[in-house]
Each structure stands twice: as structure tokens, then as C-alpha cells.
Amino acid sequence: MVDSAVNTIGFPVLSLIVLVPLAGALLLLWLKDDLQIKRLALLVTTLDLALTLTLLAHFNPDTHLMQFSEKYQWIPALDIHYALGVDGISVLFVFLSAFLGWICVLASWRAIEQHVKGFMCALLVMQALMLGVFCAMDLFLFSIFWEAMLIPMYLIIGVWGGDNRIYAAFKFFLYTLAGSVLFLVGVIVLYFEGGQSFDIQILMTQKYPFAVQFWVFIAFFIAFAIKVPMFPFHTWLPDAHVQAPTAGSIVLAGVLLKMGAYGFLRFSLPMLPLATHYFATPVVLVSLVAIIYGGYLALAQDDLKKLVAYSSISHMGFVTVGLFALNVAGLKGGILQMFSHGIITGALFLLVGLVYERTHTRLISDYGGLMKVMPIYTTGLAFFTLAAMALPGTGAFIGELLVLVGVFGFSKIVAALAVIGALLSAGYLLSMFKRVALGKVTNQALTNSRDLDAREVVTLLSLALFVLWVGFYPMPFLNIMHASVEHLLQQTQAQVVLISR
Amino acid sequence: MAASESITPVLAILVSFGAALVILALHQRPNLRDATSVIAAVIKFMLVISMAPMVLRGELIEYNLFTVLPGIDFAFRVDPLGMVFATTSSLLWIVAALYSIGYMRSLNEHAQTRFYACFAVSLSAAVGGSFAANLFTLIIFYEVLSLITYPLVYHHEDEAAWEGSKKYIVYLMGASKTFLLIAVALTYFLTGSLDFAHDGLLKEVSSSPLILTLLYFCYLFGFAKAAIMPFHAWLPAAMVAPTPVSGLLHAVAVVKMGVFCVLRVIFHVFGVQLMGDLGLGIATAYLVSFTIITASLYALTRDDLKARLAYSTVSQLSYIVLGAALLSPGAMVGGIMHIAGHAFSKITLFFCAGSIFCACRRRKISELGGIGHRLPWTMTAFFIASLSMIGIPPVGGFISKWYLIVGAIEAQQLAFVLVLLISSLLNAAYFLPISYTAFFDKEAPPSGAAPTAPIREIPLMAATVMTTALLSLLLGLYPDYFLSLAQEVIK
């Protein structure tokens, strides 16, 4: 029934990857001491990261088929299975989630002082669910992971957030819930139209009539566009980011936003190819608006976290514009941009968090001359600022380059306009860096700030490693996704060719 | 052309980068720190020049680090054009390193460690750019050069420095973000490669002339370091930097990186054939002629010595681009020669301006009456370099101007002969009065700010300006090295 999958490891590695953080969260409940809790959380996430590295090491990049598949019957009456599997696209995000999960524990070492046990539990549960989303091969299972993610994230923002956390948590919850409801509607339609199966691979091979595709695409689009977030569904994002604790922001920017784009890749493009082609131009235009409008808004921010949040909207616009250019370069660029944006924006939120822990302010105007007080920190800030600007030699440059090459194949004018976003990003990032790091120390409260310690430096260095790796040697990443992207593109085009004949 | 593999270009790039790390480590030991700069400069020059014999024989030296994307490598290739730029900048770094010691110490400048470290890295970027084998590698070094020179421009950290450096970074990064990213993406889209090719990467591309024309202008303006109008305003603004920076970077490394990139695009991305077919050569020639004349007129009106030199640089850079754009053999040789010709003379002029400032804190030309008697060596060097800029034999600038004029005639574009002659007159009009004032005007009464100490030559600085002046004289008498490289480029 299902393509015989290639599993080269002798144990259910995907289940382990999903369940290890969950088991860790349960274990934490027995501990009392905060330091022990943190150490266990670190151990669990390190183990999980090691497992994903094993996964990558055994991944076969020559096939688009699902690998490491596991499938057990769950609710036979509805043909629901517990089915996991990864292809060349999702395996990258499995790694990204596990990696950023590890970073999050390190980032919360000192930032979280109250209810440490609850926080670490929420973080680990969150990680398990995110990994579940990227591994799920059954639509029902996927939806459960997808919906359940809301709860720990709601708690992370609502309990450990800033002053206005309740408002931000509610806004986040309501927006995402609205999207989820539409997503569920789409799922149910697919289930009945697609031969009453929840198996994602079976659903991919169905040929739905255009009318069905049209409406399901709209439902899915709204659901995913809220997650990405795409203009005009982006307004929850700045509030959520500003109020969330550092680890929350990292997860939100690094992984949750990617899920929207992943949804497009996994469902909209292969299952609804006709509607995808029909809607490609509007989606590209909306993405273009996000690129420019997000950058323009970032230019006006005085709050560091808001600035990074709005820049995310702009950078994610590059992702969606690449995906909907519907060609190899665009798709690869979009996926690579997702990956490197996860790393770079995660690092930027971490940097904002690090300095906030010390100074308790996020206003750019409260800073100035940080280079003189915290030279190591400022070096890190400079590096990731330049990375976010997509300087050649960093991952974002390769992502944007490939996206632009892809968009040239779609429309040269769109590509030319997308460059405005790149220009704006140089504007807000350089001006932010200048105002924060250079010049005289104007705020006396800064003078006693201690520079980074070894733990913080290691965290930043591990992120920087990937920025440079993707920036100079992206071939391993592109090779992993190559077969899957080619296959995805065939799926998207096959039906269109049939119809147009 | 035959090519061999060698790691020397990579070493030549890394020397100054390594030196920067040593400089940072030695921040408590100023003597050792400054010696590091000089030693690194000498090693760098030796490494660069050690490759010259092979390149002059028409061989290429390659070093391929790894493949970034299909068709894009992180790779180096030493060719004659790159050699012209690399020799010039690495040779002048030795002189500039010595001069900086005199300058920074006599003014007791702050943040000297940062200054020397950034200075060293910027040389890595310049030589890295000259040896880059493709647009990807070139642009990495291009951007590194913009960023690493930013702290050098805001060095004084006062109001004026922040203003000037803001303009500097906004122009350079803005232009590259707006034009270069899209140009590189389009080139990769059209050809699937970013490698420089001997007769043009784009020569076999079938695309509409409109797209190719737009692509070309994206490159021309994206490389804003070339300071072609209207993207020139960053250069006068960058004069807030300490004079060694203005001298080596804003007369040699940074601006030459700009014109070097433009030349790369003209010769090795578009190719002479395509440039001619699309009529882009002649369009560029008119554009830069406008810059040559207008910038000279600006220079005439400036009383601030460094500002006058800055506008003169804007004008002279366009000579180089003009030479390439005329697409005739003579003009191309002239343009390439002028990379070196302008560098040796302009660095002398800037260094003289710095020496004058160190000796008596004067910046304005009108305050320089009689200074030639106090600073005879400095002002003699200034005079020699002025002659080169005007194009009077036997100083270096004459050779390049000669070839440019011959080339314009070859290309049957007599209008540009006129442009060259008018601009030479303008050069004379804004340079000669300075020497006249210095030697023949009455000494200016000391203004309030002037130090009471007598105005005297600072030996180390006087020696370095005389060296560069003599080098530019030597370039006029024995132009063989650069001339053969230039002829190798257009083969």
C-alpha cells in the first residue's frame, strides 16, 4: 500500500525522537531542585539532538520516499494510524526543532527564575509536539500535534511572559485557533473526498476536483498564513514575541513560523496542485507586501524584540515568495531560507534576551556604546546582525539568492521589488546596531553589565556555526532536500499538465 | 591559458587577517603591535609579488576551496587584472603602515589597536577581492571591505565622524543591497554560473537587450565604491576618517575595489564583444565623462584640502572606467594602468595633507601660504604627485593618460579626447595653485588654534611621502611591470 520505506536504523528512531522529550517532561516532575531540573532538561534535549544527528547520518538523500517509517493501527474504524516518517524536507526541520530546543534550555538557564519545573516541562512538551508535527504521516495524528502545540505555547507566554502577557497569550491563542478550525475543516473535506483515509501519502495521490481544491486551499491558506505569519494575518506576532520569554520567542520564530510554510509544502502544493497554480500569483503578491511592509514596520521600531519580530515577517515573506514561485530554485531557496532564518532569528532573540537579563530594558534608545561595556556580546550581536542582513557568506544570503533566482523564473518585476525588502533590512539592522553598540555609553545603568559567560558563548557559537556552514557550504543541506523537492515539484505540475492538455 | 594550483593567493589574503588577530592580542604593547603591521605588510607584498613572474608569463594561479552551489565555487584565481590591484594595494600597505605609525602617534589618537586591526583586515579584503575567481567570492570580500572600513571612518567618534560614516555605510550598503543582490541572482539565473570568463560570462546568453542593459547598470551602480555619479557622495563624506585611511583606503584599496569590480564586470562578465554589441561601452563612457568633468569642477571650489583631493579621486576613478568602457586596446590598457598610476600619486597627496595637519593642524588650502619652506620634503612630494595627476611626463599619471588618449582616438571617439584634455586642464587648475601657495605665497599668520611649537617635518612621515612620490615617478620611467600586466589582460 505504502511505498516500501527505507529504514536503515534498527530501532524506531522517530518515535524515540518524539517521545524522549515527553518522557523527560514526566521525569522532571519528580525533581525538586531547580538546578537538577535544568540539568535534566539539558540532558534530555542533548539526547534528542544526538538522536536527530543519528537520523541525519543515516538519512538517504537519493530518494523522495518517506524514510524511517513507522505505522501502527490506531482507530481502525476511521482508518487512523500512528504513522511517522520523514523525507528530505521534514528531516531538516526535525533537526532544527531539536537543535533550537537544546538552545532554548541553555537560553533559559538564568532567564527563568520562577516555576522552573513548570517551564521546563512546558518547553519539553512543546518540543515533543513540534517534532511530532514534522514527523507525522497521518493527517489525524498531524492535527493532534498541531493543535496540542497551542497549549504549552500559551502557557509559556501567559505564565512566564512580560507585563502584558495575558493579552498577548490570548491574542496568540485566538488567532491560531481560528486558523486551526479552518485547517480541521479542510482536513475533514480531504478525508471524505480522498477515499476516507488520513494517510498523508495516500491523500497526496488523490486527484481532487478543482472546486474542492479551491475551497480547501483557501481554508489551508488562512490556517498556514496565520502561522507564517503572512500579511494581513501577522498582527499577533509582535505582541506574542514581545511578551514571550526568550525561549518562547526562539521556539516561536525558529520553529512555529516554519510550520506554516511546512504546511504549504506538505499539503497545499502536493495535494492541491490546481488551486496552488491558480493562487500562486496572489500568494506571491501578498508575500511581496509582507517583505516590504514588514521591513518598513521594523524600520520604525524602538523595541529590540519588536524590531526582530517585524523583520521575521519580512524574511518569512522571502520564504513564501520562493515556495510559490513553484520551481526548483525557489523551493530550495525557500526551504533553505526557512532553516537559516530559524537559526539567525533564534540567535537574535537570544541576544536580545541576554542583554535584557542584564539591563531590564529592550528600548534601543536606552542603549548606546555597548561595545565598550560588553565587547564579546557586541561581537556576537554584530555577527548575527550581519547574518540577518543576508551578507554574502551567511546562510540567509544563499537562501535569498536562490529565492531570487526562483522568482526570476516566475516574474522579473516581483524579484526586483523583493529587493526592497533586502534594502530595508540593511537599514533597520545597521541603524539598530549603531544605536545599541556604538558611540558613547549614555545609560549609566549599562556600565556594570557583565559580559557573556562560557555557557552563553557556546550557545551563540553553535548557532554561528550553522550560519557560516549554510553560507559557505550549503550543498549538504541542498542535497538532503533535492530528491524530495524534485518529487514535490512533479506532484505539483503533473495534474496541471494533464488538465491543460 | 595555462593554470596551476597553488595556495599562495590564500596565504597572501590570510597574512593580514592573521596580523589583525595578533594586533588585537598585543593591544597593551604598542611597539610590537605597530611592528606587526609593518612586518605583515612586507610578507603580504612578498607573497603577492612572488606570483608575478607566472602571471606575466600568461599563466593563471588557481585555488579552489569548495563548491558553494552548482556553478558557484569559493575560489581564487590570480590573473593579470587582479595582480595589478593586488600589487598596488599590498605595496602601498607597507608605506601606509609606516606612515600610520607616525600619524597616529604624533596626534596621540585613541583606539589605535582597533585602527590597526581594521586596517589589516581591510587589506585582506582588498587582496581577496583581487584574487576572487567569481562574483560570489568577489562580493564577499567587497562587503567585508565596506564593513571593516566603517570603524575606520567613524574613528574620531565625534558628531562629524558619525555623520560622515553614516553616509558612508548607507551609500555603500544601500547600493549593494539594492543592485548587487539582484544582479548576482539574475546572472546566476541566466547562466547558472558566476565564474569570470576570459571573454565574458554572459556572451552566449540569449536574453533581451533590455534585461542585459538593466543588469549592467545594476552592477555599475551596485559597486558604489567606484564612486560614479550619482553614487559618489560617500567618498567626500568619508574624509572624516584619519588621513592614513583616506590615503590607503579611500584612494587605493576601497575605491580601487570599486573600479576593479566594474572592470571585472566589463571584461569578464559581459565581455568586450557584448559590451560593444549592446552599446553599453559608449553609454558608460558618457556617464563617466560627466563624472570626470563635474567632480573636477567640484574640486575647484573646495578650500578644504582633503575635500579637494576626495573630489579629485571621484574624477580620477572615472578615468579608469572610461578606459575600460571605450573598449579599444589602448584605452583599456590606459584604464588598467591608471589603477596603479592614480594609486601611487593620490596616496602621496593624501599623506601630504596628513603630514601638514600633523605639523600645524591646518586643513584649508588658503592657510597653507609659505608652508613649503617649513615642510620642503612634504610639499615637494606633493608637487611631484600633482604633476602625475595632471598627466605631465615623466610621472606615472602621464603614461595612463597617454594610453587613454591614444585609445580614444583608436575608438574614433574624439569627444573623449576632449574630455581628457579639459579634465587635465581642470586638474592643473585645482592642483597647481596649492603648490604655488605653499611655495610662493606669504606665510599665513598663525591662527588661534595653531600650536605654538614650530612647524617642522616629522621624519618618518616625510620619508614615506617622498617614497610614494618617487614610486610614482618611477612608475612613469619604468612602467613595464604594470604595462605588461595590462597588456596581458586585454590579450
Does residue A98 sit within a domain? yes
Q: Which of A340, A398, A408, A477 to mutate to test the interface with B (most CBs of B within 10 A)?
A: A408
The answer to whether B71 faces chain A, any CB pair under 8 Å, is no
Does residue A238 sit within a domain? yes
Characterize A137-163 residue by residue with b for buried, 16 or more Cβ atoms within 10 angstroms of its Cβ, and e for exposed: bbbbbbbbbbbbbbebbbbbbbbbbee
Nearest CA in chain B to A414: B182
Query: DSSP labels for B72-120?
Result: EEEEEEE-HHHHHHHHHHHHHHHHHHHHHHHHHHHTT-S-HHHHHHHHH
A324 three-state secondary structure: coil
Characterize B455-464 residue by residue with b for buried, 16 or more Cβ atoms within 10 angstroms of its Cβ, and e for exposed: bebbebbbeb
Contact A11, A68 (CB under 8 A): no
Do the chains contact at B139 and A392, CB–CB below 8 Å?
yes
- Shortest distance, CA B185 to any CA of chain A (angstroms): 5
Residue B76, φ and ψ in degrees, nearest 5: -120, 145
- Shortest distance, CA B187 to any CA of chain A (angstroms): 9
Does residue A212 sit within a domain? yes
The answer to whether B221 faces chain A, any CB pair under 8 Å, is no
Does residue A7 sit within a domain? no
Per-residue pLDDT of chain B (491 residues), as tens digits, is 678 888 999 999 999 999 999 999 988 888 898 899 999 999 999 999 999 999 998 889 999 888 888 889 999 999 999 999 999 999 999 999 999 988 888 888 888 888 999 999 999 999 999 999 999 999 999 999 999 999 999 988 888 889 889 999 999 999 998 899 999 999 999 998 999 998 889 988 878 889 999 999 999 999 999 999 889 999 989 888 888 888 888 888 899 999 999 999 999 999 999 999 999 999 999 999 999 999 999 999 998 999 999 999 999 999 999 999 999 999 999 999 999 999 999 999 999 999 988 888 888 888 888 888 888 899 999 999 999 999 888 888 899 999 999 999 998 889 999 999 999 999 999 999 999 988 888 876 655 555 556 778 888 888 999 999 999 999 989 988 998 998 888 88
Do the chains contact at B69 and A386, CB–CB below 8 Å?
no
Q: Which residue range is the domain that position A92 belongs to?
A: 13-500
Q: What's the domain count of chain A?
A: 1
The answer to whether B67 faces chain A, any CB pair under 8 Å, is yes
- Shortest distance, CA A295 to any CA of chain B (angstroms): 14
What are the CA-CA distances from residue A262 to residues A291, A334, B134 (Å)?
19, 10, 34
State the alpha helices, DSSP H only, in A228-361. 236-243, 246-251, 257-263, 269-271, 273-299, 304-323, 328-359
- Shortest distance, CA A378 to any CA of chain B (angstroms): 14
Do the chains contact at A405 and B189, CB–CB below 8 Å?
yes
Neighbour tally for A444: CB within 10 Å: 7
Do the chains contact at A392 and B68, CB–CB below 8 Å?
no
Does residue A103 sit within a domain? yes
Per-residue pLDDT of chain A (501 residues), as tens digits, is 344 445 567 788 888 899 999 999 999 888 888 888 889 999 999 999 999 999 988 888 888 888 888 888 888 888 888 988 898 899 999 999 999 999 999 888 887 788 888 889 999 999 999 999 999 999 899 999 998 988 898 888 888 888 888 888 888 888 888 888 999 999 899 888 877 888 888 888 888 888 888 999 999 999 999 988 888 888 888 888 888 888 889 998 889 899 999 999 988 888 888 899 899 999 999 999 999 999 999 998 889 999 999 999 999 999 999 999 988 999 999 999 999 999 999 999 999 988 888 888 888 888 888 888 888 999 999 999 999 999 998 999 999 999 999 998 888 899 889 989 889 999 999 999 988 888 888 877 777 778 888 888 999 999 999 999 999 999 999 999 999 999 888 888 876 666 554
The answer to whether B230 faces chain A, any CB pair under 8 Å, is no
What is the CA B38 to chain-centroid distance, rounded? 20
Does residue A8 sit within a domain? no
**Which residues does residue B78 pair with via DSSP β-bridges, in sequence order?**
B61
**pLDDT value, residue B445:** 64
**pLDDT value, residue A98:** 93
Do the chains contact at A401 and B147, CB–CB below 8 Å?
no
The answer to whether B139 faces chain A, any CB pair under 8 Å, is yes
- Shortest distance, CA B66 to any CA of chain A (angstroms): 8
- What's the rounded Cα separation, in Å, for the pair B317 and A334? 40
Do the chains contact at A405 and B68, CB–CB below 8 Å?
no
**pLDDT value, residue A3:** 43
B477 three-state secondary structure: helix
The answer to whether B174 faces chain A, any CB pair under 8 Å, is yes
**pLDDT value, residue A125:** 93
Chain A residues inside the 8 Å CB shell of B164: none
- Shortest distance, CA A392 to any CA of chain B (angstroms): 5
Do the chains contact at A386 and B147, CB–CB below 8 Å?
yes
Chain A residues bordering chain B (beta-carbon distance below 8 Å): 329, 386, 389-393, 398, 400-402, 404-405, 408-409, 412, 415-416, 419, 422-423, 425-427, 430, 434, 438-440, 472-475, 478
The answer to whether B184 faces chain A, any CB pair under 8 Å, is yes
State the alpha helices, DSSP H only, in B224-266. 234-237, 243-244, 254-264
DSSP one-letter code for A392: T
Residues A435-478 pLDDT 10s? 888 888 887 777 777 888 888 899 999 999 999 999 999 999 99
The answer to whether B158 faces chain A, any CB pair under 8 Å, is no
Contact A143, A187 (CB under 8 A): yes
Do the chains contact at B185 and A430, CB–CB below 8 Å?
no
- pTM of the predicted protein model: 0.92
Listed in sequence order, the residues at least 6 apart from A465 whose beta carbon sits closer than 8 Å to its beta carbon are: none
Neighbour tally for B192: CB within 10 Å: 12
**pLDDT value, residue B1:** 63
Does residue A4 sit within a domain? no
Does residue A206 sit within a domain? yes
Listed in sequence order, the residues at least 6 apart from B24 whose beta carbon sits closer than 8 Å to its beta carbon are: B113, B117
- What's the rounded Cα separation, in Å, for the pair A402 and A209? 33
Nearest to A280 by CA among A89, A487, A492: A492
**pLDDT value, residue B446:** 59
Nearest to B339 by CA among B66, B91, B56: B91
Q: Which of B181, B186, B211 to mutate to test the interface with A (most CBs of A within 10 A)?
A: B181
Which amino acid is present at B336?
Answer: I
- Shortest distance, CA B343 to any CA of chain A (angstroms): 28
